[in-house]
Amino acid sequence: MKMKEIKKVLFVVNPISGDVDKNELLEFIENELKQQDIALEIYKTNGENDISNIKSIVEQSQFDRVFVAGGDGTIKMVSEALLSTNVPMVLFPAGSANGFALNFDIPENKEAQLDVALFGNIIEVDLIKINEHYSLHLADFGVNADLIKNYDNATLRGKAGYLLQTIPTLMKSNHPYEFEISSNGERFVLEASVLSIANCQKYGTGACINPEGKSNDGKFEIIGFKNLNLIEIVKTFTNQTTLNPEFATSTSTTSAKVNCKSPVPFQIDGEYIGELENIEVSILHKAIQLCIASN
Phi, psi (5° rounding) for residue 100?
A: -65, -45
Residue from the set 93, 95, 213, 265 that interacts with ligand ATP by CB under 6 A: 95
Residue from the set 3, 8, 16, 57 that interacts with ligand ATP by CB under 6 A: 16
Residue from the set 15, 107, 206, 211 that interacts with ligand ATP by CB under 6 A: 15
Q: Is 47 in the site for ligand ATP (CB under 6 A)?
A: yes
Q: For residue 23, give Cα distances in angstroms to 28, 73, 270, 277.
A: 9, 20, 24, 42
57 to 86, contacts with ligand ATP by CB under 6 A? 70-74
Residue 152 Cβ vs ligand ATP, minimum distance, rounded to whole Å: 7
Other C-beta atoms lying within 10 Å of the C-beta of residue 56: 11
Q: State which residue, 155 or 241, has the beta carbon closest to ligand ATP.
A: 155
Q: Is 144 in the site for ligand ATP (CB under 6 A)?
A: no
Distance CA 211, CA 7 (A): 39
Q: Is 271 in the site for ligand ATP (CB under 6 A)?
A: yes
Question: What's the Rg (C-alpha) of the chain?
Answer: 19
Residue from the set 6, 14, 176, 201 that interacts with ligand ATP by CB under 6 A: 14
Residue 94 Cβ vs ligand ATP, minimum distance, rounded to whole Å: 7
- Choose among 141, 68, 145: nearest CA to 101: 68
Residue from the set 120, 176, 224, 270 that interacts with ligand ATP by CB under 6 A: 270
Site string for ligand ATP, 222-261 (x = CB under 6 A): ----------------------------------------
Q: Is 135 in the site for ligand ATP (CB under 6 A)?
A: no
Residue 133 Cβ vs ligand ATP, minimum distance, rounded to whole Å: 13
Distance CA 20, CA 95 (A): 7
Q: Is 206 in the site for ligand ATP (CB under 6 A)?
A: no
Q: State which residue, 133 or 157, has the beta carbon closest to ligand ATP.
A: 157
Q: State which residue, 46 or 56, has the beta carbon closest to ligand ATP.
A: 46
Phi, psi (5° rounding) for residue 193?
A: -80, -35
Q: State which residue, 15 or 206, has the beta carbon closest to ligand ATP.
A: 15
DSSP states of 148-202: HHHHHHSS--HHHHHHHHHHHHHHH---SEEEEEEETTEEEEEEESEEEEESSSB
From 42-50, 81-89, 125-133, 273-281, give the range in contact with ligand ATP by CB under 6 A: 42-50
Residue 96 Cβ vs ligand ATP, minimum distance, rounded to whole Å: 4
Q: Is 18 in the site for ligand ATP (CB under 6 A)?
A: yes
Residue 251 Cβ vs ligand ATP, minimum distance, rounded to whole Å: 27
**Residues contributing to the site for ligand ATP (CB under 6 A):** 14-18, 45-47, 70-74, 95-97, 157, 270-271
